[in-house]
Chain A
């Protein structure tokens, strides 16, 4: 029996898949496009039909696809009576709208787009009503806001369309955000995001302290979506949409989503005073206010829009009453409202389509020209008015009956009186729709000559009118559906009858008052309308626009204030907020007592420390003199390297000292082209402010480090120490971590380094082909050029040191797996050896002796590392699994050779290539700056050949 549930995800997915169809089929013509758009809807309807008997029998069908169960995220669906009712409404009306739109849209409108949006919306709506997981429901909820935005703004060329779409999105979207918060609170109270769990936990929810916030937030979502006062204003503006959209979204589906949600959450949230008063008062106000405004609207669609607002208010009020009978009335009215209101919207669309106007003042007497349309419109409007033998009457009676028994704060006449007033106004505007549009004398000044549309266009509303009359005469037809849906809302077994004649009840009397009063009111419409139009009243759109532009001004002010193009400001904001956050975290936590003793400080360490601190402070004080600052930076780097040696990190010391060398060379090269001093431009106040920020940041970090250093915790590195030799084949654990345990990280890092090298090369190329190259050529650097640029002593010394340095590099590389060293350090050492040649004999001389391109070296490095990793696949192991063995070459100590060794070779080559490419790129700039290119190793060669000596500054 329950295997039917597996159809649910397919039903939910079908419209989304179907959304692709119109785009493909539009080339085959408009009829084919419409036909194929109907296919997914029909298929979904058929599947729903298969599931119907089970649901009617009272079963709840479920399907669950787990995604992230830890977070409570799963794609779970369920179908009960309420879901079934709504699913039928969404798909059924969707089908009718597809048909209607085929005839409504003109040849200029992109029909494929329209159908795609329509199906997207249909899928989102369908998702809301069959989701079991509230997070999933929220996603579909937001999707309806987005897809309705597309639909409302479908006529992009109309400013009203665009503004209406924006307004609808802003209002329903912000309501949706509130609802997300509310739903998350709800999920936290219950401990599950599954709707079925939440619905079963109503007592827990109502008893929770968080009940009221959750209720208000969720209701905000529902009220904005269902256009309840004071959020009702967006709906009339959304009427700028094509009429099929209005008929679908604003009568049957989207605006009902809020009502659906309240009905869905009824077992969990209803039954408290808060629910009763908030929901029923909002609903009643909306009902009366909407009806009142509708009576005085001259635009047909605006009239219908406000009548929809009013009817949504009615539904909200009924749900707010919180009684079972009210729930029955609400469910029944949902069906009835759907039938007559969709028919009315489509009628309005036909009138607009045929007469080219929707202004009631310019219409009247249309019954003569378009009798079929007039008949349809009259039937639907009479139902809306609540005239017997039409279905609107039945649910309105139920509503009045409930209202008659409801008291607010012990006042038992205000609810019935206001409900009767609402009904009365509703009769008045419904009759106006009939009498001012279809009845009356025929006119001869219609903007177009009216006539009945083709069958395809009135088929959909006609079918709905048949339903209106059928249910109105034989309410038993709707009974099973109403029963199963109302039971799903209340969660109780319900026994009731739907019938036309209940005897002379208060509801009947109220109904009679409403009809008579409504008719009288219509008679007085002309003077009343004059008075209404003369009366001042708040214009919602103006208020909304003012609010939005105030918000835009505010955010622009904030953005411009923070983001004004000054990096210093961003950095200051960043540092200050980080310090602030850390302070908050610090002050909120507790600190365990220190568990470690401090190590003693030998005098030599103290000296190093003083040097370090003094240099750091001197850099700050002296940074205007850039060379001096650079020298001081070098001192700091050396002291840190020494610190690493002392604190048992030989690998770090080696790396730090070689990187230090390379960095200083790089900065020196760059400084050659940059100004040698930094101007003093910051005011004293600014410097003071930066100083305060800096001291705060420094103190924070120091405190954090201190706290850290004095406490013990269990590191994960015991594993590395224990397995380094057996698993990785090396005794230098740091190196084994780099090339084995965390090889993947290292692989990523050498790629980053390679990319950095290539970036610099690319930047330099771009720079040298731009205006900078011209400027470089015209700048005279000769005055800071030494007279002996390639001194004899240096050339000889570096030449002698090259093989030694390379030997040291190779040695460090080979022993790296077992002793401090490895690919990173070896790469740096050898690049320093090569750099010395560049420095001693100049760029041109060295370049001619370079055999390997640095780009190629980076490429090979990454490739070798990758191949090593891939090699592990051959052995059936995961990427970068290492193998190793020991070999003993003659004359050389026994050393380990494994795949990690090849990987380290890749690291070595990449580091060497990247570092060399960076410095090479910088020094190439020098050639553009009029640097002479020497082909000789040194300026003055004592071994004769005096004639080759170049004159200075050629």
Chain B
């Protein structure tokens, strides 16, 4: 099980890193989403794996519990990464609609074009 989780984190990271190195905004956003998954699962895994031991206190017997702290941290991290993705999507959308291009890299020619446009405006 541990091997599966670790390798899943690795595959998600690798796919995420590959995608954020692409040249267009949309794959970068997808890559960031994959990286978020990887990071969240990784953080969660720092509490070690346990089966049938949710951190909900039982009234009877001494049940074992999984580590609640990473779970709490990851819970907020999931929500925050949604917020971040949303802001990025908005940026990408805005950039595309303004420039009719969703390339993320600014090359020399792009810079001069932009200044030229600003000059016109």
Residues of A participating in the B interface, judged by any CB pair closer than 8 Å: 565-569, 571-572, 575, 596, 598-601, 605-606, 609, 612-613, 616-617, 619-620, 623, 626, 629-630, 633, 636-637, 640, 643-644, 646-652, 655-656, 659, 662-663, 666-667, 670-671, 673-675, 678-679, 681-682, 690-691, 693-695, 697-699, 701-706, 708-710, 712, 715-717, 720-721, 724-725, 731-735, 737-738, 742, 745-746, 749, 752-753, 756-757, 759-760, 763-764, 766-767, 770-772, 775-776, 818-820, 824, 828, 911, 914-915, 918, 921-922, 925
Please pick, from B29, B52, B72, the residue contacting A738 in the complex, using a CB distance under 8 A.
B72
A495 to B90, CA, bound (A): 81
Q: Are the C-beta atoms of B76 and A756 separated by less than 8 Å?
A: no
A925 to chain B, nearest CB (A): 7
A675 with B54, Cβ < 8 A, contacts A652-B71, A705-B45 known: no
Q: Are the C-beta atoms of B97 and A650 separated by less than 8 Å?
A: no
Q: Please, which residues of chain A bring their CB within 8 A of the CB of B65?
A: 648, 721, 733
Consensus secondary structure, chain B interface: helix
Q: Please, which residues of chain B bring their CB within 8 A of the CB of A671?
A: 26
Q: Please, which residues of chain A bring their CB within 8 A of the CB of B5?
A: 643, 647, 705, 709
A636 to B56, CA, bound (A): 27
B14: nearest chain-A partner, CB-CB = A698
Q: Are the C-beta atoms of B14 and A709 separated by less than 8 Å?
A: no
Q: Are the C-beta atoms of A706 and B6 separated by less than 8 Å?
A: yes
Q: Are the C-beta atoms of A605 and B50 separated by less than 8 Å?
A: no
A648 with B51, Cβ < 8 A, contacts A566-B106, A721-B57 known: yes
Would you list which residues of chain B between 52 and 106 have a CB under 8 Å from chain A? 52-58, 65-69, 71-72, 74-76, 78-80, 82-87, 89-94, 96-98, 100, 102, 104-106
Q: Please, which residues of chain B bring their CB within 8 A of the CB of A775?
A: 97, 100
Q: Please, which residues of chain B bring their CB within 8 A of the CB of A715?
A: 47, 67, 69
Residue from B22, B45, B65, B72 having most chain A Cβ neighbours under 10 A: B72
Q: Please, which residues of chain B bring their CB within 8 A of the CB of A724?
A: 57, 68
Please pick, from B1, B30, B105, the residue contacting A598 in the complex, using a CB distance under 8 A.
B1
Q: Please, which residues of chain B bring their CB within 8 A of the CB of A647?
A: 5, 44, 49-51, 66
Q: Please, which residues of chain B bring their CB within 8 A of the CB of A921?
A: 90
A681: nearest chain-B partner, CB-CB = B23
Could you list 22 A-B pairs, sorted by A, with CB under 8 Å?
A567-B28, A575-B21, A612-B11, A617-B11, A633-B30, A636-B34, A643-B8, A659-B82, A673-B96, A674-B96, A681-B23, A695-B14, A698-B15, A699-B10, A705-B10, A709-B5, A715-B47, A732-B57, A767-B93, A775-B100, A824-B79, A828-B79
Q: Are the C-beta atoms of B48 and A709 separated by less than 8 Å?
A: yes
Q: Are the C-beta atoms of B47 and A717 separated by less than 8 Å?
A: yes
Q: Are the C-beta atoms of B69 and A702 separated by less than 8 Å?
A: no
A664: nearest chain-B partner, CB-CB = B33
A674 to B98, CA, bound (A): 12
B66: nearest chain-A partner, CB-CB = A648
Q: Are the C-beta atoms of B10 and A651 separated by less than 8 Å?
A: no
Q: Please, which residues of chain A bring their CB within 8 A of the CB of B38?
A: 701
A620 to B11, CA, bound (A): 11
Residue from A596, A600, A617, A648 having most chain B Cβ neighbours under 10 A: A648
Q: Are the C-beta atoms of A674 and B102 separated by less than 8 Å?
A: yes
Q: Are the C-beta atoms of A694 and B14 separated by less than 8 Å?
A: yes
Q: Are the C-beta atoms of B75 and A734 separated by less than 8 Å?
A: yes
A831 to chain B, nearest CB (A): 11
Please provide the 10 A-B residue pairs with the shortest distance between their CB atoms, ordered closest to farther.
A702-B10, A698-B14, A565-B106, A772-B97, A756-B83, A599-B1, A694-B18, A731-B57, A733-B68, A737-B72
B contact residues, total (Cβ < 8 Å): 89
A568 with B79, Cβ < 8 A, contacts A663-B85, A715-B69, A760-B90 known: no
A623: nearest chain-B partner, CB-CB = B27
Q: Are the C-beta atoms of A717 and B68 separated by less than 8 Å?
A: yes
Q: Please, which residues of chain A bring their CB within 8 A of the CB of B20?
A: 571
Q: Please, which residues of chain B bring their CB within 8 A of the CB of A659?
A: 78-79, 82
A717 with B69, Cβ < 8 A, contacts A636-B12, A733-B55, A753-B80 known: yes
A575 to B20, CA, bound (A): 10
A572 with B50, Cβ < 8 A, contacts A671-B26, A721-B68, A918-B86 known: no
Please pick, from A598, A656, A764, A922, the residue contacting B3 in the complex, using a CB distance under 8 A.
A598
B25: nearest chain-A partner, CB-CB = A674
Tell me if B2 counts as interface (CB < 8 A to partner A).
Answer: yes
A910 to chain B, nearest CB (A): 10
A746 with B76, Cβ < 8 A, contacts A651-B71, A708-B46 known: yes
Please pick, from A601, A666, A679, A735, the residue contacting B4 in the complex, using a CB distance under 8 A.
A601
Q: Please, which residues of chain B bring their CB within 8 A of the CB of A629?
A: 27, 30
Q: Please, which residues of chain A bring their CB within 8 A of the CB of B96?
A: 673-675
Q: Please, which residues of chain B bring their CB within 8 A of the CB of A636?
A: 12, 34, 37
Q: Please, which residues of chain B bring their CB within 8 A of the CB of A756?
A: 83-84, 86-87
Q: Are the C-beta atoms of B83 and A720 separated by less than 8 Å?
A: no
Q: Are the C-beta atoms of B23 and A568 separated by less than 8 Å?
A: yes
A699 to B13, CA, bound (A): 9
Q: Please, which residues of chain A bring their CB within 8 A of the CB of B33?
A: 633, 663
Q: Are the C-beta atoms of B83 and A734 separated by less than 8 Å?
A: no
Q: Please, which residues of chain A bring their CB within 8 A of the CB of B67?
A: 715, 717
Q: Are the C-beta atoms of B19 and A619 separated by less than 8 Å?
A: yes
Q: Are the C-beta atoms of A720 and B14 separated by less than 8 Å?
A: no
A836 to B47, CA, bound (A): 36
A556 to B20, CA, bound (A): 27
A845 to chain B, nearest CB (A): 24
Q: Are the C-beta atoms of B54 and A678 separated by less than 8 Å?
A: no
A706 to B8, CA, bound (A): 11
A626 to B45, CA, bound (A): 30
A770 with B49, Cβ < 8 A, contacts A670-B89, A698-B17 known: no
Q: Please, which residues of chain B bring their CB within 8 A of the CB of A644?
A: 44
Q: Please, which residues of chain A bring their CB within 8 A of the CB of B108?
A: 565
Q: Are the C-beta atoms of B56 and A819 separated by less than 8 Å?
A: yes
Q: Are the C-beta atoms of A596 and B48 separated by less than 8 Å?
A: yes
B50 to chain A, nearest CB (A): 5
Q: Are the C-beta atoms of B71 and A649 separated by less than 8 Å?
A: yes
Q: Are the C-beta atoms of B111 and A565 separated by less than 8 Å?
A: yes
Would you list which residues of chain B between 32 and 46 have a CB under 8 Å from chain A? 33-34, 37-38, 40-42, 44-46
A860 to B57, CA, bound (A): 32
A614: nearest chain-B partner, CB-CB = B11
A673 with B97, Cβ < 8 A, contacts A633-B34, A655-B75, A745-B76 known: yes
A722: nearest chain-B partner, CB-CB = B57
Q: Are the C-beta atoms of B29 and A667 separated by less than 8 Å?
A: yes
A627 to chain B, nearest CB (A): 11
Tell me if B115 counts as interface (CB < 8 A to partner A).
Answer: no
A318 to B67, CA, bound (A): 69
A496 to B55, CA, bound (A): 82
B33 to chain A, nearest CB (A): 6
